[in-house]
Amino acid sequence: MRRGSRRSARERPPDAPSANDSQVGRVAIGVRLPAHGAPIHLRTYAASGSDPACGVEPTSSLLRTSRTLTVSQHAEPLRFATVEEAIEGLRGEGLRLSAARRLVLEALFLADGPVSAEELAAGLGGQVPPSDLASVYRNLETLERHGVVRHVHLGHGPGLYALAGSGEREYLVCERCGAYRVARPAEVDAIREHIRVTFGYVARFSHFPIVGLCRDCASRE
């Protein structure tokens, strides 16, 4: 390898995603913890340092997400229970159902939970024919814009996709074993209301989950 032919991760600009950052935004943040009950102010720093003591000026006085961070779509969920009902609803909105788009839709119905675009493109272990990954991503984005699909990040790695036909879902994930649970919005409304009253934020756990320890892992603490 020629000297200097590859830039190290330390030299990579802060906005540049690495090979492992597919669909996940990453930011380096410095946190100063205030007295109990006071607001927490977060600052973002350049990749070469994460503290003002290093001589790096903060890029903002507020937390800023990386431009590689995905944005959850907020289209009203389309109600459906079968592939045909989903197709009928999409056609009612004027969307053309190509063979590739229908294949993605059918694969999502066969999946037993949220799945990645890579798993869908690979054919879900032989359940459907494999397809082009870029095409799968495009069709997932289209389906999400029309309220058929939602994506969620259940840990490190690419976003996972699930059908939204039965209504909104929210998630809890164990940071130790990776197990996750699906919750109806009403089941976490008390948590949401506490956050709203205490911090002024209207929280959603459909795109990024509540993270903690599941019952089994917590019992081994």
Q: In this predicted structure, what is the pLDDT of residue 6? A: 43
Can you name the CATH fold of 170-219? Dna Ligase; domain 1 (3.30.1490)
Q: In this predicted structure, what is the pLDDT of residue 70? A: 53
- Counting as low any pLDDT under 70, the low residues of the chain are 1-74
Over residues 24-59, the pLDDT tens digits come to 333 233 333 334 444 433 333 333 344 444 343 433
Residues 130 and 110: their CA atoms lie apart, in Å, by 14
Give DSSP secondary structure letters for 75-117: PPPPP-SSHHHHHHHHHHTT----HHHHHHHHHHHH-SS-EEH
Q: In this predicted structure, what is the pLDDT of residue 43? A: 36
Structural contact between residues 209 and 152, judged by C-beta atoms closer than 8 angstroms: yes
Q: In this predicted structure, what is the pLDDT of residue 221? A: 82
Domain extent listing, the chain: 1-69, 83-146, 170-219
Structural contact between residues 139 and 97, judged by C-beta atoms closer than 8 angstroms: no
Domain 83-146 top-level CATH class:
mainly alpha
Q: In this predicted structure, what is the pLDDT of residue 157? A: 77
Q: In this predicted structure, what is the pLDDT of residue 36? A: 40
Q: In this predicted structure, what is the pLDDT of residue 42? A: 37
Q: In this predicted structure, what is the pLDDT of residue 156? A: 80
